[in-house]
Structure 1
Amino acid sequence: MDDTTLTSMEGYYMAIDDTHIHDSLQDLDDPTSLKRMLNIAKSSTAATFVLDFNDEAAYATFDLPFASTSKLLDAERPDASYARWVNLWRPFEQQAILEVLARRYDSVARGNLYRIIDDLWHYSSVDLGRSYVCIGYNSIFGTKHADSEDDNGILPHCTRIWTWLVLCDDSTVITINEDPFPFAGGVLSGTQQRILQETRRNLLNVFRSLSRVVEDERMSRNPMALLPIRTRLGDTIEETAHREPDAPGLLFYYIFENWYNSYILVTRKESRYGVELVSLRAQMFKSPKLCHIDRLDCIGKELGVLKRHYLSYNRIIDRLLEPQVATPASLQGSHVISETSELSSLSTVRPMVTEKESLLGVSFTSAARSRFRRLKDLIDLYALSEVEEYLKQKDSLVTMNFNLIAMKESLDMERLTKITLLITKATISFLPVSLMSAYFSVQFDGIDYTVKEYWVSFAVILAMSWVMLFVFGVASGSVETVGVLQKVWQGSRQAWTSLTSRA
């Protein structure tokens, strides 16, 4: 490959002897090509793409055969390329390509971790090599697919997707995404298709931001939609001088960030947890039940999972930003020399390397490092703080529910006591009448009683008994007649209202 082809990305692709690469080559700055590529990226049948870009141009190829992909990865990169993005969907069907990437970068993780991460949603992995940095993490999407058959997991209203994200020292960024529906064979239902679009939202936004198509229109409509990866707002000499080294780290960062999908679960005003806690609070005041405690316990478990998930993101960021320092212990017994020292011997079997080349990981420029620090602040302020607040609300509602149940039981017991007292008083009020009736039933010689005399005596004694009980109730503070009559009246009105509304 001559020097002229290395100065042009289009010439670089055309210089590779492969018709599949030539036929699938797409220009991201062409509106028709961009629309076609976005439709492919949204489809469930898309498998891979390789994208190269700089300030002036960006080209991508989709779903190349394995032989063509291998040729493209093995070909010498063009000097004009600031960064390369290699993306894989459905990784179980891309084993051959994974092997090629593993041999080239020694970075792509092998083995099946899905069984672990399916049960441990906050599982994360950071692997540093001599020429790469590789992170593995879960992304959680609030898809709320209540009609899904698999809605009884740790977070029943969310979909979890595992991603491997690799930054290599040759400015290549590799993304390997878990297939959310591995047994669907590419044929998805309407609900599954909607979930797929949600899980690819951030990736598609990054992809779209690498194009210059309708840039001004997108900036005027939504400045946050255009990520400053390929295009920056500043055009000064100092700014443009750093675009090439900044590009790989910025691409790596914005793929990882995924703020909208991951943090919208708890940061929106209409967050499901906030809405449900408010609803539970209203239900408790109306009628506290023990089933509310069960739901609060489930909410607490879900919030605990989210808290550990966000903390795992903070740990990844800390590992990415921590400095890698060569120590005497790490250099002892190795064929590593100081960059300022003289080469003492050339007869060693192993190659001599400098301290800088011996360190693990790939360094990020200040542009990416500052954004990672900002992301950590966002996680602390708008994710973890919200989760902590919801957990406090949950704990207070549990305590409140128990207190309300105790108060309700106390009020029920008090109401039962009042009714019992009222019945007792009614029974006592008829006791003198019963004695009177027994007296009138006794046959005395020469004494006869008329019916009028009986009922007059009945009324007088009953009235005197009620007056005495009322006076005793006022004196002892146990008058219940008025309260009971009010409750009876209210119950009668509610029953009448219910009957008339049905009619």
Structure 2
Amino acid sequence: MAIPFRPASPAEDLPPYYQDTGNDDIRQCFRNFDVDRNFDLFDRQTREHRSRNFCIDFGEDEGDAFCAFDLNDKAYKKLLESPRPTELHTRWINIWQPYNQKELIQTLASHFDFTPRLLGMMTSDHMPPRNNPSLRMKKSSSTLRSVFSHKSQTTNMSNSIREKAKQANEQALDSESSIGLTEMMQSTQLELVRDLSHYQLVDDVWHWSTVDQGRRCKFLFMSREMGHGLKSSADSNADMCIGYNSLHNVRSKETNTRPIISDRTRDVPHGKRVWNWLLLCEDKTVISISEDPFPFVNGALNKEDVKVLFTTRRNTVNVFRQLTKAPTPLREAALTQLPIRQRLGSSDEETAHRPTDAPGLLFYYLFEDWGATFDLISRREHGYAAELDRLRQEMLQTANLTHVDQLHHIGCQLAVLKRVYQSYELIIERVLKKQEATLASLKNSHILSGNASLISSHPVINDSPGPLVPEADSLLGVALSSAARVRFERLKDRIQLYALSEISECLDQKESLVMMNFNLIAIKESFSVERLTWVTLLLAKITILFTPVTLMTGYFSIQFKGLEFEVGSYWQAFGWTFGLSAALLVLFSWVSGTFEGKIITRSWTRAVYDVAHRWVVGRRKRGKMM
């Protein structure tokens, strides 16, 4: 187990909430997040690959924010069990390298009542890279131990199951077919477990996403009465968990000119895929879990890997910096400012909503990640639009079938991106969807429906055992505050307008470029055929021009008895023959429509007919004029 990160500054006076937990790690690691020197230490830890987790409790006023890095599962258990003061109304727990912190995730799952399947996916081990033995040797020792222990447990379990099955079959019926069927089913189940691991699934299906809802977070709803703000139901418990792949643009200056075609595979976008979990839980707690981009690297990262790490953590670091009131880098940049703790209004109406808006806003801005979501497709100076424009220019110069192959792979990448953004839309729809009770959900249950839920003292309506729960408190899911809902709706519109429409336009352009490429190839072939025809006609004309001269020369070369030819007579005959041949060739070219290598566009009979028709029409006009 790694040693928790302890700031080098001396211990500070912490609120009684942290002092009373009785945990030394909590007292030593938590620091005031609004103090400059503490923030500088924590800010550097967010960009450190070995950092495992951090926890931030914050309120609205300056000094009501405390942060700690790399706490163990026992410290988090103490924090979750201790009632948090009202001034620290929101908590953010961020976890990196989840496969190395299974005890911590199990603590959170036990407290917030995760499903066993959700816990299993969150604590899944990474699958070794395919067809890359060198990277497999870089697997960290902790990951190796977890994988080996999992394999040994699976082997022991399979052996015990086989022994029990064998004994049961021997005692019941001595049937070889049933024994073979049992072993076949067991082996098939083990193959299914090996082949369908969580990280293998999200790596093969980039648009894979999930939205789960439970009962461990308070509903937030808007009061319809004038003068009232957001209120929380004291008894309504639910939670929301979303899982999705985020894509990060990791192109460098060297590869920026040819960003689309990747050496690893040509059918997925050129970017770094990172799986993320986001949970909105009770007590206004937000949990974020991110996949480690380099799970099999042992030791320090190289320069390129550090750049990729900074890119994948860019949004997390930005949200982290916006939660402090100490001076932060790029604080004045407009696009990096988030209205979570930094607000301008100070009226009663504004301040009354801030404690209830903060969890939903934090949940939203962790999901939004505007730069990663739209950097791959929306920016015009590089990406798919620039690649399609480059291919278009190359086609206009020299069109060939290799361009069709490149366009095919670009289309596959755009299709993957389209499904990814559609999965984001689906997540937003599920987050904004209001859960309503149905007759099926109320039948044969302990839910008080209708007016019965308004009665303060729960009467005994039926004789079934168990507590009676009001209808509103039985619904799953979480109703976000209005501030978060408005931003989720805006993000959905942005995805449709700036991502999906851009992808559709690029796909249409890709299809048009494919057709243009074939048309250019056809035009190129027609030009080649026309040039070949022109050369053939030229050679034929030369042959026609010199054939009479050749015959004449053959005649003069014959030795007739009593007849001698003079040189002057030869050249005189040559001139007349050559001139007559040239005149006839010009006349033939003009009549056939092949003068100066032009292609015949109409038949000779049609040409004679047109000439005769013009002559007849012209003669009639002259006759009328006379």
Question: TM-score if structure 1 supplies the norm length?
Answer: 0.89
Partner residue, 1:276 = 387
Partner residue, 2:112 = 105
Q: What is the RMSD computed on CA atoms of the aligned residues?
A: 2.2
User: Which of 454, 459, 463 pairs up with 1:340?
Assistant: 454
Matched, 1:122 2:193: no
User: Which of 583, 591, 595 pairs up with 1:467?
Assistant: 583
Matched, 1:141 2:248: yes
Once the two structures are superposed, what CA deviation does each residue of 1:442-470 show, in whole Å capped at 9, x if it has no partner? 22222211334334433442343223212
- For 1:23 and 1:475, how far apart are their aligned partners in 2? 104
Partner residue, 1:406 = 522
Question: Aligned-pair distance for 1:191?
Answer: 1.0
Cα distance change, pair 409–122 in 1 and its aligned pair in 2 (3 A): same
Partner residue, 1:204 = 317
Cα distance change, pair 149–418 in 1 and its aligned pair in 2 (3 A): closer
Partner residue, 2:55 = 50
- For 1:424 and 1:159, how far apart are their aligned partners in 2? 64
Q: Secondary structure at the match of 1:422?
A: helix
Question: Aligned-pair distance for 1:18?
Answer: 2.0
Q: Secondary structure at the match of 1:265?
A: coil
Identity of aligned residues (%): 44
Contact 2:278 2:289 survives alignment (8 Å): yes
Cα distance change, pair 149–288 in 1 and its aligned pair in 2 (3 A): closer
Cα distance change, pair 30–456 in 1 and its aligned pair in 2 (3 A): farther
Contact 1:9 1:80 survives alignment (8 Å): no
Once the two structures are superposed, what CA deviation does each residue of 1:135-165 show, in whole Å capped at 9, x if it has no partner? 0001011112669997326435211110010
Moved more, 436-445 or 364-373: 436-445
- For 2:286 and 2:381, how far apart are their aligned partners in 1? 35
Partner residue, 2:541 = 425
- For 1:451 and 1:115, how far apart are their aligned partners in 2? 94
Once the two structures are superposed, what CA deviation does each residue of 1:308-329 show, in whole Å capped at 9, x if it has no partner? 1111011101111111111222
Question: Aligned-pair distance for 1:372?
Answer: 0.3
- For 1:283 and 1:169, how far apart are their aligned partners in 2? 57
Once the two structures are superposed, what CA deviation does each residue of 1:228-255 show, in whole Å capped at 9, x if it has no partner? 0112222211010000011101000000
Once the two structures are superposed, what CA deviation does each residue of 1:47-85 show, in whole Å capped at 9, x if it has no partner? 001111011221110012333233223322222212111
Matched, 1:157 2:291: no
Q: Secondary structure at the match of 1:323?
A: coil
Name the amino acid aligned to 2:92.
W
Partner residue, 2:96 = 89
User: Which of 426, 429, 432 pairs up with 1:315?
Assistant: 426
Contact 1:151 1:157 survives alignment (8 Å): no
Contact 1:45 1:186 survives alignment (8 Å): no
- 1:171-182 correspondence runs (5 A): 171-182=284-295
- For 1:44 and 1:153, how far apart are their aligned partners in 2? 29
- For 2:84 and 2:437, how far apart are their aligned partners in 1? 30
- For 2:262 and 2:397, how far apart are their aligned partners in 1? 33
Partner residue, 1:38 = 43
- For 2:411 and 2:266, how far apart are their aligned partners in 1? 14
Cα distance change, pair 154–96 in 1 and its aligned pair in 2 (3 A): farther
Partner residue, 1:490 = none
Question: Aligned-pair distance for 1:259?
Answer: 1.1
Question: Aligned-pair distance for 1:273?
Answer: 0.6
Matched, 1:69 2:76: yes
- 1:183-198 correspondence runs (5 A): 183-198=296-311
User: Which of 554, 557, 565 pairs up with 1:449?
Assistant: 565
User: Which of 22, 25, 33 pairs up with 1:20?
Assistant: 25
- For 2:530 and 2:68, how far apart are their aligned partners in 1? 78
- For 1:9 and 1:397, how far apart are their aligned partners in 2? 65
Question: Aligned-pair distance for 1:348?
Answer: 5.8
- 1:257-268 correspondence runs (5 A): 257-268=368-379
- 1:173-252 correspondence runs (5 A): 173-214=286-327, 218=330, 221-252=332-363
- For 2:299 and 2:274, how far apart are their aligned partners in 1? 17
Matched, 1:286 2:397: yes
- For 1:458 and 1:190, how far apart are their aligned partners in 2? 83
Q: Secondary structure at the match of 2:496?
A: helix
- For 1:482 and 1:295, how far apart are their aligned partners in 2? 37
Cα distance change, pair 124–327 in 1 and its aligned pair in 2 (3 A): same
- For 1:317 and 1:149, how far apart are their aligned partners in 2? 31
Moved more, 206-215 or 165-174: 206-215
- For 1:150 and 1:418, how far apart are their aligned partners in 2? 45
Cα distance change, pair 275–172 in 1 and its aligned pair in 2 (3 A): same
Unaligned ranges ≥5, structure 1: 1-7, 484-503
Cα distance change, pair 461–28 in 1 and its aligned pair in 2 (3 A): farther
Question: TM-score if structure 2 supplies the norm length?
Answer: 0.72
Contact 2:262 2:270 survives alignment (8 Å): no
Partner residue, 1:330 = 441
Partner residue, 1:491 = none
Partner residue, 1:300 = 411
Question: Aligned-pair distance for 1:36?
Answer: 1.4
- For 1:328 and 1:466, how far apart are their aligned partners in 2? 101
